[in-house]
Structure 1
Protein backbone atom coordinates (compact mmCIF):
# COMPACT_ATOMS: atom_id res chain seq x y z
CA UNK A 1 0.00 0.00 0.00
CA UNK A 2 1.08 3.57 -0.72
CA UNK A 3 -0.14 6.53 1.35
CA UNK A 4 0.07 10.28 0.78
CA UNK A 5 -0.18 12.66 3.73
CA UNK A 6 -1.61 16.16 3.27
CA UNK A 7 -1.01 19.01 5.75
CA UNK A 8 -4.11 21.21 5.90
CA UNK A 9 -3.84 24.68 7.37
CA UNK A 10 -5.55 28.01 6.70
CA UNK A 11 -6.89 31.00 8.64
CA UNK A 12 -10.38 29.49 8.24
CA UNK A 13 -11.58 25.99 7.42
CA UNK A 14 -15.07 24.51 7.51
CA UNK A 15 -16.22 20.93 7.00
CA UNK A 16 -19.99 20.95 6.99
CA UNK A 17 -21.93 18.18 8.67
CA UNK A 18 -25.69 17.79 8.54
CA UNK A 19 -27.25 21.21 9.06
CA UNK A 20 -30.25 23.30 8.18
CA UNK A 21 -30.38 26.48 6.12
CA UNK A 22 -30.32 28.75 9.18
CA UNK A 23 -27.12 27.37 10.75
CA UNK A 24 -24.33 25.65 8.82
CA UNK A 25 -22.17 23.79 11.31
CA UNK A 26 -18.80 22.06 10.86
CA UNK A 27 -17.05 18.89 11.94
CA UNK A 28 -14.04 19.44 14.22
CA UNK A 29 -11.80 17.84 11.58
CA UNK A 30 -11.72 17.41 7.76
CA UNK A 31 -14.41 14.98 6.67
CA UNK A 32 -13.61 12.29 4.12
CA UNK A 33 -16.04 13.89 1.66
CA UNK A 34 -14.10 17.18 1.92
CA UNK A 35 -10.80 15.46 1.13
CA UNK A 36 -12.42 13.53 -1.73
CA UNK A 37 -13.63 16.91 -3.03
CA UNK A 38 -10.15 18.43 -2.63
CA UNK A 39 -8.57 15.56 -4.57
CA UNK A 40 -11.29 15.63 -7.24
CA UNK A 41 -10.68 19.36 -7.78
CA UNK A 42 -6.94 18.77 -8.06
CA UNK A 43 -7.51 16.00 -10.61
CA UNK A 44 -9.89 18.19 -12.60
CA UNK A 45 -13.07 16.18 -11.96
CA UNK A 46 -16.27 18.20 -12.23
CA UNK A 47 -19.01 17.84 -9.63
CA UNK A 48 -21.02 15.32 -11.67
CA UNK A 49 -18.01 13.23 -12.79
CA UNK A 50 -18.63 9.54 -12.04
CA UNK A 51 -14.93 9.03 -11.26
CA UNK A 52 -15.49 10.78 -7.94
CA UNK A 53 -17.19 7.60 -6.72
CA UNK A 54 -13.92 5.68 -7.06
CA UNK A 55 -12.22 8.13 -4.66
CA UNK A 56 -14.57 6.93 -1.90
CA UNK A 57 -12.61 3.67 -1.98
CA UNK A 58 -9.44 5.39 -0.74
CA UNK A 59 -8.48 4.51 2.83
CA UNK A 60 -8.68 7.66 4.94
CA UNK A 61 -7.41 8.95 8.27
CA UNK A 62 -6.88 12.39 9.77
CA UNK A 63 -4.96 13.65 12.81
CA UNK A 64 -5.77 16.86 14.68
CA UNK A 65 -2.32 18.40 15.26
CA UNK A 66 -3.57 21.86 16.22
CA UNK A 67 -7.18 22.05 17.44
CA UNK A 68 -9.25 24.89 16.07
CA UNK A 69 -10.68 27.95 17.75
CA UNK A 70 -14.37 28.00 16.73
CA UNK A 71 -15.80 31.02 14.94
CA UNK A 72 -19.43 31.73 14.05
CA UNK A 73 -20.15 34.27 11.33
CA UNK A 74 -23.55 35.53 10.26
CA UNK A 75 -24.88 36.42 6.83
CA UNK A 76 -28.07 38.13 5.70
CA UNK A 77 -29.49 36.37 2.65
CA UNK A 78 -32.43 37.26 0.44
CA UNK A 79 -34.28 33.97 0.03
CA UNK A 80 -37.38 35.47 -1.57
CA UNK A 81 -37.90 38.81 -3.25
CA UNK A 82 -38.06 41.39 -0.50
CA UNK A 83 -37.61 38.80 2.27
CA UNK A 84 -34.32 38.53 4.13
CA UNK A 85 -33.09 35.97 6.61
CA UNK A 86 -30.24 35.90 9.14
CA UNK A 87 -28.13 32.75 8.82
CA UNK A 88 -25.06 31.50 10.67
CA UNK A 89 -21.88 29.78 9.47
CA UNK A 90 -19.37 27.95 11.68
CA UNK A 91 -15.63 27.98 10.90
CA UNK A 92 -12.45 26.48 12.33
CA UNK A 93 -9.76 29.11 13.01
CA UNK A 94 -5.99 28.52 12.90
CA UNK A 95 -6.25 24.72 12.86
CA UNK A 96 -3.66 22.29 11.51
CA UNK A 97 -4.70 18.83 10.36
CA UNK A 98 -2.68 15.99 8.88
CA UNK A 99 -4.86 13.98 6.51
CA UNK A 100 -3.77 10.75 4.83
CA UNK A 101 -5.23 8.73 1.96
CA UNK A 102 -3.97 5.34 0.87
CA UNK A 103 -4.57 2.70 -1.78
CA UNK A 104 -3.14 -0.53 -3.14
CA UNK A 105 -3.20 1.27 -6.50
CA UNK A 106 0.19 2.97 -6.34
CA UNK A 107 -0.37 4.73 -9.65
CA UNK A 108 -3.52 6.43 -8.30
CA UNK A 109 -1.65 7.73 -5.24
CA UNK A 110 1.13 9.03 -7.49
CA UNK A 111 -1.46 10.86 -9.62
CA UNK A 112 -3.07 12.37 -6.51
CA UNK A 113 0.33 13.47 -5.19
CA UNK A 114 1.20 15.17 -8.50
CA UNK A 115 -2.25 16.75 -8.88
CA UNK A 116 -2.17 18.34 -5.42
CA UNK A 117 0.88 20.31 -6.57
CA UNK A 118 -0.54 20.99 -10.05
CA UNK A 119 -4.30 21.37 -9.43
CA UNK A 120 -6.71 21.80 -12.33
CA UNK A 121 -9.29 23.66 -10.21
CA UNK A 122 -8.89 25.91 -7.18
CA UNK A 123 -8.31 24.00 -3.96
CA UNK A 124 -10.27 24.92 -0.84
CA UNK A 125 -10.51 23.58 2.70
CA UNK A 126 -14.23 23.04 3.03
CA UNK A 127 -15.98 26.12 1.65
CA UNK A 128 -14.77 27.69 -1.57
CA UNK A 129 -13.53 30.86 0.16
CA UNK A 130 -11.28 28.87 2.54
CA UNK A 131 -8.09 28.72 0.51
CA UNK A 132 -5.00 26.93 1.89
CA UNK A 133 -2.31 28.99 3.64
CA UNK A 134 0.27 28.56 0.90
CA UNK A 135 1.27 25.47 -1.09
CA UNK A 136 -0.06 22.21 0.32
CA UNK A 137 2.66 20.09 1.94
CA UNK A 138 2.57 16.37 1.10
CA UNK A 139 4.65 13.27 1.75
CA UNK A 140 4.56 9.70 0.41
CA UNK A 141 4.81 6.63 2.66
CA UNK A 142 5.16 3.02 1.53
CA UNK A 143 3.90 -0.18 3.10
CA UNK A 144 1.57 1.32 5.71
CA UNK A 145 -2.07 2.32 5.74
CA UNK A 146 -3.09 5.93 6.57
CA UNK A 147 -3.79 5.25 10.27
CA UNK A 148 -0.42 3.55 10.74
CA UNK A 149 1.40 6.40 9.00
CA UNK A 150 -0.24 9.05 11.21
CA UNK A 151 0.65 7.12 14.36
CA UNK A 152 4.37 7.60 13.67
CA UNK A 153 4.72 10.95 11.89
CA UNK A 154 6.12 13.85 13.94
CA UNK A 155 3.97 16.71 15.19
CA UNK A 156 2.96 19.15 12.39
CA UNK A 157 1.43 22.02 14.38
CA UNK A 158 2.65 25.59 13.89
CA UNK A 159 5.85 26.60 15.68
CA UNK A 160 3.94 29.18 17.72
CA UNK A 161 1.48 26.55 18.97
CA UNK A 162 4.27 24.11 19.85
CA UNK A 163 6.14 26.75 21.82
CA UNK A 164 3.11 27.77 23.85
CA UNK A 165 2.24 24.14 24.65
CA UNK A 166 3.55 23.52 28.18
CA UNK A 167 3.84 19.73 28.12
CA UNK A 168 6.61 17.66 26.56
CA UNK A 169 4.03 15.47 24.82
CA UNK A 170 0.96 16.53 22.86
CA UNK A 171 -1.82 13.96 22.50
CA UNK A 172 -3.49 14.26 19.09
CA UNK A 173 -6.84 12.77 18.19
CA UNK A 174 -6.86 10.37 15.25
CA UNK A 175 -10.00 9.62 13.23
CA UNK A 176 -9.91 6.91 10.58
CA UNK A 177 -11.99 4.48 8.56
CA UNK A 178 -13.14 1.93 11.12
CA UNK A 179 -11.44 -0.91 9.25
CA UNK A 180 -8.08 0.78 9.83
CA UNK A 181 -8.51 0.86 13.62
CA UNK A 182 -9.99 -2.49 14.66
CA UNK A 183 -10.88 -2.87 18.35
CA UNK A 184 -11.32 0.90 18.79
CA UNK A 185 -14.53 2.72 19.58
CA UNK A 186 -16.42 3.63 16.44
CA UNK A 187 -19.46 5.53 15.22
CA UNK A 188 -21.28 6.36 11.99
CA UNK A 189 -20.84 9.66 10.16
CA UNK A 190 -22.58 10.90 7.03
CA UNK A 191 -19.68 12.01 4.85
CA UNK A 192 -19.44 9.37 2.13
CA UNK A 193 -19.91 11.08 -1.24
CA UNK A 194 -22.86 10.05 -3.38
CA UNK A 195 -22.89 13.19 -5.53
CA UNK A 196 -21.49 16.72 -5.38
CA UNK A 197 -24.13 17.95 -7.84
CA UNK A 198 -25.23 21.35 -6.50
CA UNK A 199 -28.84 20.58 -7.35
CA UNK A 200 -28.95 17.46 -5.17
CA UNK A 201 -25.89 16.93 -3.01
CA UNK A 202 -26.08 13.55 -1.31
CA UNK A 203 -23.91 11.77 1.25
CA UNK A 204 -24.03 8.28 2.71
CA UNK A 205 -22.94 6.86 6.05
CA UNK A 206 -19.58 5.28 6.81
CA UNK A 207 -18.04 3.89 9.98
CA UNK A 208 -15.14 5.73 11.65
CA UNK A 209 -12.97 4.81 14.63
CA UNK A 210 -11.02 6.98 17.07
CA UNK A 211 -7.57 6.78 18.63
CA UNK A 212 -5.16 9.10 20.45
CA UNK A 213 -1.53 9.56 19.41
CA UNK A 214 1.20 10.97 21.73
CA UNK A 215 3.55 13.33 19.86
CA UNK A 216 6.84 14.76 21.11
CA UNK A 217 7.01 18.53 21.50
CA UNK A 218 10.39 19.58 20.00
CA UNK A 219 10.18 23.02 21.68
CA UNK A 220 9.68 21.82 25.23
CA UNK A 221 12.63 22.81 27.51
CA UNK A 222 13.35 19.17 28.40
CA UNK A 223 14.03 18.45 24.72
CA UNK A 224 15.84 21.64 23.72
CA UNK A 225 18.18 21.17 26.71
CA UNK A 226 19.45 17.95 25.16
CA UNK A 227 21.12 19.97 22.37
CA UNK A 228 22.16 22.96 24.48
CA UNK A 229 25.93 22.73 23.99
CA UNK A 230 28.66 24.86 22.47
CA UNK A 231 30.64 22.74 20.01
CA UNK A 232 33.15 25.51 19.26
CA UNK A 233 34.11 25.79 22.95
CA UNK A 234 34.71 22.04 23.04
CA UNK A 235 36.97 22.22 19.96
CA UNK A 236 38.90 25.14 21.45
CA UNK A 237 39.60 23.17 24.65
CA UNK A 238 40.79 20.20 22.63
CA UNK A 239 43.13 22.45 20.69
CA UNK A 240 44.73 23.76 23.92
CA UNK A 241 45.79 20.30 25.09
Structure 2
Protein backbone atom coordinates (compact mmCIF):
# COMPACT_ATOMS: atom_id res chain seq x y z
CA UNK A 1 0.00 0.00 0.00
CA UNK A 2 1.12 3.57 -0.71
CA UNK A 3 1.75 6.05 2.10
CA UNK A 4 2.51 9.76 2.05
CA UNK A 5 5.03 10.73 4.76
CA UNK A 6 5.97 14.21 5.97
CA UNK A 7 7.43 15.85 9.07
CA UNK A 8 6.12 18.68 11.27
CA UNK A 9 8.44 20.92 13.27
CA UNK A 10 8.27 24.48 14.56
CA UNK A 11 9.47 26.51 17.56
CA UNK A 12 5.81 26.66 18.61
CA UNK A 13 2.73 24.57 17.82
CA UNK A 14 -0.80 24.51 19.21
CA UNK A 15 -2.97 21.48 18.50
CA UNK A 16 -6.34 22.66 19.75
CA UNK A 17 -8.51 20.53 21.99
CA UNK A 18 -12.13 21.21 22.96
CA UNK A 19 -12.24 24.84 24.10
CA UNK A 20 -14.23 25.60 27.26
CA UNK A 21 -14.52 29.16 28.47
CA UNK A 22 -11.32 31.15 28.45
CA UNK A 23 -8.95 28.14 28.35
CA UNK A 24 -7.51 27.05 24.99
CA UNK A 25 -5.69 23.76 25.57
CA UNK A 26 -3.25 22.06 23.21
CA UNK A 27 -2.78 18.36 22.59
CA UNK A 28 0.79 17.03 22.42
CA UNK A 29 0.42 15.91 18.79
CA UNK A 30 -1.65 17.01 15.76
CA UNK A 31 -5.22 15.75 15.44
CA UNK A 32 -7.08 14.86 12.25
CA UNK A 33 -8.69 18.29 11.82
CA UNK A 34 -5.27 19.99 12.03
CA UNK A 35 -3.73 17.63 9.46
CA UNK A 36 -6.70 18.04 7.11
CA UNK A 37 -6.40 21.81 7.48
CA UNK A 38 -2.71 21.62 6.61
CA UNK A 39 -3.44 19.56 3.49
CA UNK A 40 -6.32 21.83 2.49
CA UNK A 41 -4.10 24.91 2.78
CA UNK A 42 -1.43 23.27 0.64
CA UNK A 43 -4.02 22.31 -2.00
CA UNK A 44 -5.61 25.75 -1.98
CA UNK A 45 -8.99 24.63 -0.59
CA UNK A 46 -10.75 27.46 1.23
CA UNK A 47 -12.66 26.97 4.46
CA UNK A 48 -16.01 27.94 2.87
CA UNK A 49 -15.68 25.32 0.10
CA UNK A 50 -17.85 22.80 1.95
CA UNK A 51 -17.93 20.04 -0.68
CA UNK A 52 -14.17 19.99 -1.20
CA UNK A 53 -13.58 20.12 2.56
CA UNK A 54 -16.03 17.23 3.15
CA UNK A 55 -14.40 15.10 0.43
CA UNK A 56 -10.99 15.70 2.00
CA UNK A 57 -12.26 14.83 5.51
CA UNK A 58 -13.66 11.43 4.44
CA UNK A 59 -11.03 10.40 1.90
CA UNK A 60 -7.91 9.86 4.03
CA UNK A 61 -6.65 8.15 7.17
CA UNK A 62 -3.72 9.36 9.27
CA UNK A 63 -1.07 8.06 11.63
CA UNK A 64 1.31 10.17 13.71
CA UNK A 65 4.66 9.13 15.15
CA UNK A 66 5.59 11.49 17.97
CA UNK A 67 9.36 11.89 18.29
CA UNK A 68 9.12 14.76 20.80
CA UNK A 69 6.06 16.32 22.42
CA UNK A 70 8.10 19.46 23.08
CA UNK A 71 7.92 21.73 26.11
CA UNK A 72 4.65 23.29 27.31
CA UNK A 73 4.15 27.04 27.15
CA UNK A 74 1.12 28.95 28.44
CA UNK A 75 0.26 32.43 27.23
CA UNK A 76 -2.06 34.74 29.17
CA UNK A 77 -3.75 36.42 26.21
CA UNK A 78 -5.78 39.63 26.11
CA UNK A 79 -7.60 41.12 23.11
CA UNK A 80 -10.07 43.93 22.52
CA UNK A 81 -13.32 43.21 20.71
CA UNK A 82 -16.72 44.94 20.56
CA UNK A 83 -19.87 43.21 21.74
CA UNK A 84 -22.57 42.31 19.19
CA UNK A 85 -24.91 44.96 17.77
CA UNK A 86 -28.07 43.21 16.61
CA UNK A 87 -27.63 41.86 13.08
CA UNK A 88 -24.67 44.11 12.28
CA UNK A 89 -21.53 42.19 11.28
CA UNK A 90 -17.98 43.52 11.66
CA UNK A 91 -16.29 42.54 8.39
CA UNK A 92 -12.68 43.14 9.39
CA UNK A 93 -10.51 43.66 12.45
CA UNK A 94 -10.32 47.35 11.48
CA UNK A 95 -14.13 47.54 11.59
CA UNK A 96 -14.07 46.11 15.12
CA UNK A 97 -11.58 48.72 16.34
CA UNK A 98 -12.93 51.73 14.43
CA UNK A 99 -16.68 51.26 13.95
CA UNK A 100 -17.07 49.38 17.23
CA UNK A 101 -14.75 51.68 19.18
CA UNK A 102 -17.44 52.74 21.67
CA UNK A 103 -18.40 49.11 22.41
CA UNK A 104 -14.90 47.67 22.92
CA UNK A 105 -14.35 45.27 25.79
CA UNK A 106 -11.45 43.05 26.82
CA UNK A 107 -11.42 39.31 26.17
CA UNK A 108 -9.15 37.22 28.40
CA UNK A 109 -7.94 33.75 27.52
CA UNK A 110 -5.21 31.30 28.49
CA UNK A 111 -3.62 29.58 25.50
CA UNK A 112 -1.32 26.55 25.49
CA UNK A 113 1.51 25.83 23.06
CA UNK A 114 4.15 23.15 22.54
CA UNK A 115 7.72 24.34 21.93
CA UNK A 116 10.14 22.32 19.77
CA UNK A 117 7.67 19.49 19.18
CA UNK A 118 8.52 17.10 16.34
CA UNK A 119 6.16 14.58 14.72
CA UNK A 120 6.05 12.42 11.61
CA UNK A 121 2.78 11.98 9.72
CA UNK A 122 1.64 9.12 7.47
CA UNK A 123 -1.37 9.47 5.16
CA UNK A 124 -3.19 6.70 3.31
CA UNK A 125 -5.86 7.39 0.68
CA UNK A 126 -9.18 5.52 0.72
CA UNK A 127 -11.09 4.59 -2.45
CA UNK A 128 -13.08 7.83 -2.36
CA UNK A 129 -10.03 10.10 -1.94
CA UNK A 130 -10.36 13.23 -4.13
CA UNK A 131 -6.58 13.63 -4.64
CA UNK A 132 -3.81 11.13 -5.27
CA UNK A 133 -1.03 11.05 -2.67
CA UNK A 134 1.43 12.29 -5.30
CA UNK A 135 -0.76 15.38 -5.86
CA UNK A 136 -0.75 16.14 -2.13
CA UNK A 137 3.02 15.58 -2.02
CA UNK A 138 3.48 18.18 -4.76
CA UNK A 139 1.14 20.59 -2.94
CA UNK A 140 3.07 20.23 0.33
CA UNK A 141 6.26 21.17 -1.51
CA UNK A 142 4.59 24.16 -3.19
CA UNK A 143 1.62 25.11 -0.95
CA UNK A 144 -1.04 27.54 -2.20
CA UNK A 145 -1.60 29.05 1.27
CA UNK A 146 0.73 29.46 4.24
CA UNK A 147 1.12 26.38 6.44
CA UNK A 148 0.74 26.66 10.20
CA UNK A 149 1.07 24.29 13.15
CA UNK A 150 -2.40 24.86 14.59
CA UNK A 151 -2.35 28.68 14.85
CA UNK A 152 -1.19 31.52 12.61
CA UNK A 153 1.37 32.41 15.27
CA UNK A 154 2.96 28.97 14.75
CA UNK A 155 4.44 28.76 11.23
CA UNK A 156 6.22 25.68 9.97
CA UNK A 157 9.96 26.12 10.64
CA UNK A 158 11.38 23.43 8.34
CA UNK A 159 10.37 22.00 4.95
CA UNK A 160 7.86 19.18 5.30
CA UNK A 161 10.02 16.87 3.14
CA UNK A 162 7.03 14.89 1.80
CA UNK A 163 7.71 11.42 0.36
CA UNK A 164 5.47 8.71 -1.08
CA UNK A 165 6.50 5.14 -0.29
CA UNK A 166 5.18 1.56 -0.25
CA UNK A 167 4.84 -0.26 3.07
CA UNK A 168 2.89 -3.03 4.75
CA UNK A 169 1.44 -0.71 7.39
CA UNK A 170 1.65 2.61 9.19
CA UNK A 171 4.43 1.39 11.47
CA UNK A 172 6.80 0.34 8.68
CA UNK A 173 6.06 3.48 6.66
CA UNK A 174 6.82 5.79 9.61
CA UNK A 175 9.91 3.88 10.72
CA UNK A 176 11.64 3.78 7.33
CA UNK A 177 10.90 7.45 6.51
CA UNK A 178 14.18 9.41 6.33
CA UNK A 179 13.02 12.73 7.74
CA UNK A 180 16.45 14.36 7.57
CA UNK A 181 18.19 17.17 9.44
CA UNK A 182 16.24 20.18 10.64
CA UNK A 183 19.13 22.57 11.32
CA UNK A 184 21.74 22.46 8.57
CA UNK A 185 24.98 24.23 9.50
CA UNK A 186 27.66 25.29 7.06
CA UNK A 187 29.85 22.45 8.39
CA UNK A 188 27.09 19.89 7.75
CA UNK A 189 26.50 21.25 4.24
CA UNK A 190 30.20 20.98 3.48
CA UNK A 191 30.19 17.37 4.70
CA UNK A 192 27.14 16.57 2.58
CA UNK A 193 28.79 17.97 -0.55
CA UNK A 194 31.78 15.70 0.00
CA UNK A 195 29.45 12.69 0.33
CA UNK A 196 27.52 13.51 -2.86
CA UNK A 197 28.99 12.05 -6.07
CA UNK A 198 29.19 14.24 -9.15
CA UNK A 199 25.72 14.52 -10.66
CA UNK A 200 24.12 13.16 -7.49
CA UNK A 201 21.36 14.68 -5.37
CA UNK A 202 22.63 16.65 -2.36
CA UNK A 203 19.60 15.76 -0.20
CA UNK A 204 20.52 12.06 -0.53
CA UNK A 205 23.81 12.57 1.34
CA UNK A 206 23.88 10.28 4.43
CA UNK A 207 24.66 13.14 6.82
CA UNK A 208 21.51 15.04 5.71
CA UNK A 209 19.20 12.04 6.09
CA UNK A 210 19.33 12.05 9.89
CA UNK A 211 19.26 14.60 12.74
CA UNK A 212 22.19 17.01 12.82
CA UNK A 213 24.25 17.50 16.01
CA UNK A 214 22.22 20.64 16.78
CA UNK A 215 18.96 18.71 16.38
CA UNK A 216 20.18 15.99 18.72
CA UNK A 217 21.06 18.62 21.35
CA UNK A 218 17.58 20.20 21.14
CA UNK A 219 15.66 16.94 21.51
CA UNK A 220 18.03 15.42 24.10
CA UNK A 221 16.39 17.53 26.83
CA UNK A 222 12.98 15.99 26.25
CA UNK A 223 13.74 12.31 25.69
CA UNK A 224 10.54 10.25 25.65
CA UNK A 225 9.36 6.89 24.33
CA UNK A 226 8.21 7.12 20.73
CA UNK A 227 4.42 7.07 20.41
CA UNK A 228 2.26 5.95 17.48
CA UNK A 229 -1.30 7.23 17.01
CA UNK A 230 -3.49 6.04 14.15
CA UNK A 231 -7.07 5.47 13.00
CA UNK A 232 -8.52 2.35 11.39
CA UNK A 233 -6.38 -0.68 10.62
CA UNK A 234 -2.66 0.08 10.99
CA UNK A 235 -1.61 -3.11 9.23
CA UNK A 236 1.46 -3.77 11.38
CA UNK A 237 0.79 -2.06 14.74
CA UNK A 238 -1.12 -3.56 17.66
CA UNK A 239 -3.09 -1.10 19.75
CA UNK A 240 -2.35 -0.79 23.47
CA UNK A 241 -5.13 1.72 24.07
CA UNK A 242 -8.09 3.20 22.19
CA UNK A 243 -8.81 6.91 22.53
CA UNK A 244 -11.75 9.13 21.63
CA UNK A 245 -10.95 12.44 19.96
CA UNK A 246 -13.40 15.15 18.98
CA UNK A 247 -11.63 16.23 15.79
CA UNK A 248 -13.47 14.73 12.80
CA UNK A 249 -14.73 17.76 10.80
CA UNK A 250 -18.43 17.97 9.99
CA UNK A 251 -18.49 21.55 8.73
CA UNK A 252 -15.52 23.90 8.41
CA UNK A 253 -17.67 26.98 7.85
CA UNK A 254 -19.77 26.31 10.98
CA UNK A 255 -16.75 24.97 12.89
CA UNK A 256 -18.46 21.69 13.83
CA UNK A 257 -16.66 18.45 14.70
CA UNK A 258 -17.64 14.96 15.78
CA UNK A 259 -15.95 12.07 17.59
CA UNK A 260 -13.68 9.41 16.13
CA UNK A 261 -11.69 6.50 17.56
CA UNK A 262 -7.90 6.59 17.56
CA UNK A 263 -5.39 3.94 18.64
CA UNK A 264 -2.16 4.34 20.62
CA UNK A 265 1.01 2.32 20.91
CA UNK A 266 4.00 3.46 22.99
CA UNK A 267 7.18 2.12 21.40
CA UNK A 268 6.89 -0.33 18.54
CA UNK A 269 8.37 -3.41 20.27
CA UNK A 270 7.07 -6.80 19.27
CA UNK A 271 3.77 -6.68 17.37
Q: TM-score, normalised by structure 2?
A: 0.70
Q: Secondary structure of 2:40's match? A: helix
1:173 maps to what in 2? Answer: 227
Q: Aligned partners of 2:227 and 2:104: how far apart in 1? A: 46
Deviations 1:70-95 (A, max 9, x none): 00112212243242132111111011
Distance 1:19 1:63, change over 3 A: same
- Tell me whether 1:55 sits opposite 2:56 in the alignment: yes
Match status 1:137 vs 2:139: no
In structure 1, how many angstroms separate the alpha carbons of the residues matched to 2:60 and 2:30?
A: 15
The aligned residue for residue 170 of structure 2 is 146
Q: Which residue of 2 aligns with 1:189?
A: 245
Is the 1:33–1:191 Cα contact (8 Å) retained in structure 2?
yes
**Structure 2: where are the runs of 5+ without partners?**
84-102, 181-210
Contact 2:239 2:265 in 1 (8 A): no
Are 2:15 and 1:15 aligned?
yes
The alignment covers a number of residue pairs equal to 211
Match of 2:71 in 1: 69
CA contact (8 A) 1:40 1:46 kept: yes
- 2:109 corresponds to 1:87: yes
Q: CA deviation at 1:193?
A: 1.2
Q: State the 1:104 CA deviation.
A: 5.1
Q: What does residue 6 of structure 1 align with?
A: 6
**Structure 1 residue 20: Cα displacement:** 2.3
Do 1:102 and 1:145's aligned partners in 2 also have CA atoms closer than 8 Å?
no
**Alignment match, 1:222:** none
Q: 2:208 corresponds to which residue?
A: none
- C-alpha displacement of 1:5: 1.0
Rate the CA distance shift 1:24–1:158 in 2: closer, same or farther, 3 A: farther
Match of 1:162 among 189, 194, 216: 216
Report SS of the residue matched to 2:260.
strand
Structure 1 alignment gaps of length 5 or more? 216-241
Q: TM-score under structure 1 normalisation? A: 0.78
Deviations 1:184-203 (A, max 9, x none): 32021011111221xx2011
**Any conservation in 2 of the 1:178–1:186 contact (CA below 8 Å)?**
no
CA–CA separation in structure 2 for the residues paired with 1:108 and 1:188: 28
**Residues 68 and 94, structure 1, Cα contact 8 Å, conserved in 2:** yes
The residue that corresponds to 1:208 in the other structure is 262
Partner Cα separation in structure 2 for residue 96 and residue 59 of structure 1? 20
What is the aligned partner in structure 1 of residue 199 from structure 2? none
> Which of the pair is proportionally richer in strand?
1
| C-alpha displacement of 1:23 | 1.1
